[in-house]
Amino acid sequence: MDAKFRQAALDYHQYPTPGKVRQSSSKPMRNAHDLALAYSPGVAVACEAIASDPDSARHFTGRSNLVAVISNGTAVLGLGNIGPLASKPVMEGKAALFRHFAGIDAFDLEIDASTPERFIEVVAALEPTFGGINLEDIRAPECFVIEDELRRRMAIPVFHDDQHGTAIVCAAAVTNALLLQAKELSQVRLVTSGAGAAALACVDLLVTMGLPAANVTLTDIDGVITRDRTGMGANMARYARAGPACRLDEVIAGADIFLGLSAPGVLRAELLPLLADRPLILALANPEPEIRPEVVRAVRPDAIVATGRSDYPNQVNNLLCFPFIFRGALDIGATEINAAMKIAAVRALAALAREGGPCPFSSDYIIPDPFDPRLIGAISPAVATAAMASGVATRPIADLDGYRDVLAAIAQP
């Protein structure tokens, strides 16, 4: 970033009011009667109703449309462990995106909790306040423990977007790229560069959708993840290989999919000829990918490339899914966001790109643009339907066509 852009970013955050979110009242406060209804004595009536019937909180409070964006700042963007206070601009930004793209109110909560145990206790105690929990920028492997335990303890959706949002958009890109390349998920071989939370979530979701686990090779800075690697969690160990810890360049030959969630320049141009015919290259390191698309095009014009950057085609951006997944989950009172709901989001997102949009479906348009107003109408009903079918909806929607009309009014052009 040059100095001009950096100053523009600071000005954006500071003026005319510091920060990116603020709270506003949804009810009038014009006179004494309004005040009596909003607070004492009228508020007691709503309190008594909820004490008698907890489910009525969705009628008398904003809980069912309220998400917490929560972080301890231990793995912020590409900045690392900068702490909860320095993470606040990111969390405010996420809250603003929820509101703008899906009409969801969101509070950002930055927690001074460096251990999973403290983090879990703090967040679990907040369940009466929120309809859903969006975990953000928590380092691995603590993020796995935190999400698993919170999902077990809480009866509202808990979603670590760094993992699952990335995985859903990545899986949609894979779905459409394989269709264009005339390949089947059950037949391809995938090699990763990176074995952190996002990479493992991507692999897990693809395996759930039909990629054989035996066709996956995980690598990180120390080489291939092998069975003698110490300190592995179960989600990594299931893909560990027998044999020595080879380097990426020793295992990439014949790979149909390269999944990069690691570091700049890891996939060198001289390795590209080793990939299978018609490969898919997901170079998702940010801001600098594992390889630039123009380098790939010069060496492998038969490849399809996606990055995490907005200045190249096929941007794998979590914004394509997380607001709309939560919209669907909140609207049917989901108790969790399960695998069926994630797969429904993948399929809806992939299908939307195949319908065209700003560009026709092609190797340069395998996933939609984040500003596509059709996203909410495609993804949220698909997620809601999957939640109902999988038995995690507490408030099923009978009229899905009417629901789509409601969503259309929320959609941003």
Domain boundary among 91, 125, 156: 156
Of the candidates 218, 80, 202, the one whose C-alpha atom is nearest the C-alpha of residue 139 is 80
Burial 214-243 (b: 16+ CB within 10 A, else e): ebbbbbbeebbbbeebeebeebbeebebee
Bond into 16 cis (ω within 30): yes
Mean pLDDT by 10 residues, the chain (413 residues): 92 95 91 95 96 96 97 92 97 96 97 96 98 96 95 98 97 98 98 95 98 97 91 88 88 97 96 98 95 98 97 96 98 98 98 93 96 96 98 97 94 64
Task: Indicate if 40 and 87 belong to the same structural domain.
Answer: no
Task: Indicate if 118 and 182 belong to the same structural domain.
Answer: no
φ, ψ (nearest 5 deg) of residue 338: -100, 180
The contacts found for 232-240 with CB under 8 angstroms, 24 or more apart, are: 233/141, 233/144, 235/144, 235/200, 235/204, 236/195, 236/200, 238/213, 239/203, 239/213
Q: Which residue has the tokens 């809806």?
A: 348
Query: Domain residues for 90?
Result: 3-30+62-156
Alpha carbons within 13 A on the beta-carbon side of 337? 34
Annotated binding residue at 215? no
> Is 39 a catalytic site residue?
yes
Whether residue 321 is contained in a domain is answered as no
Task: Indicate if 16 and 132 belong to the same structural domain.
Answer: yes
Walk across the sheet containing 66-71 and list its strands: 105-110, 66-71, 132-135, 158-160
Task: Indicate if 143 and 223 belong to the same structural domain.
Answer: no
Whether residue 313 is contained in a domain is answered as no
Residue 195: partners with Cβ closer than 8 Å, 6 or more residues away: 218, 219, 220, 225, 236
Catalytic residue among 4, 15, 27, 39: 39
Whether residue 268 is contained in a domain is answered as yes
Domain boundary among 273, 307, 341: 307
Burial of 281 (0-12, 13-18, 19+ CB in 10 A): buried
Task: Indicate if 20 and 69 belong to the same structural domain.
Answer: yes
Share above pLDDT 90 across residues of the chain, in percent, rounded to a whole number: 91
Whether residue 391 is contained in a domain is answered as no
d(CA 394, CA 335): 7
Position 357 scores a pLDDT of 84
Helix ranges, 226-320 (H): 234-237, 248-251, 293-299
Position 244 scores a pLDDT of 81
> SS3 of 352, please?
helix
DSSP state of 127: T
Annotated binding residue at 317? yes
The contacts found for 141-150 with CB under 8 angstroms, 24 or more apart, are: 141/197, 141/233, 142/74, 142/115, 142/116, 143/75, 143/197, 144/197, 144/233, 144/235, 145/116, 145/120, 146/116, 146/119, 146/120, 149/116, 149/120, 150/120, 150/123, 150/124
Position 412 scores a pLDDT of 59
> Is 94 a catalytic site residue?
yes
**Residues 119 and 147 sit within 8 Å (Cβ to Cβ):** no
Q: Residues 55, 57, 62, 63: is their CA dihedral positive or negative?
A: negative
Q: At what angle are helices 322-331 and 339-354 packed, to 10 degrees? A: 130
d(CA 143, CA 127): 19
Task: Indicate if 197 and 291 belong to the same structural domain.
Answer: yes
Task: Indicate if 219 and 284 belong to the same structural domain.
Answer: yes
Catalytic residue among 94, 183, 365, 403: 94
Annotated binding residue at 286? yes
Position 413 scores a pLDDT of 54
Question: How many independent structural domains does the chain possess?
Answer: 3
Annotated binding residue at 149? no
Annotated binding residue at 105? no
Walk across the sheet containing 190-193 and list its strands: 216-217, 190-193, 257-260, 280-283, 304-307
d(CA 283, CA 293): 9
The CATH number assigned to the domain holding 273 equals: 3.40.50.720
Of the candidates 208, 205, 200, the one whose C-alpha atom is nearest the C-alpha of residue 236 is 200
The CATH number assigned to the domain holding 149 equals: 3.40.50.10380
Whether residue 235 is contained in a domain is answered as yes
Domain boundary among 156, 183, 201: 156
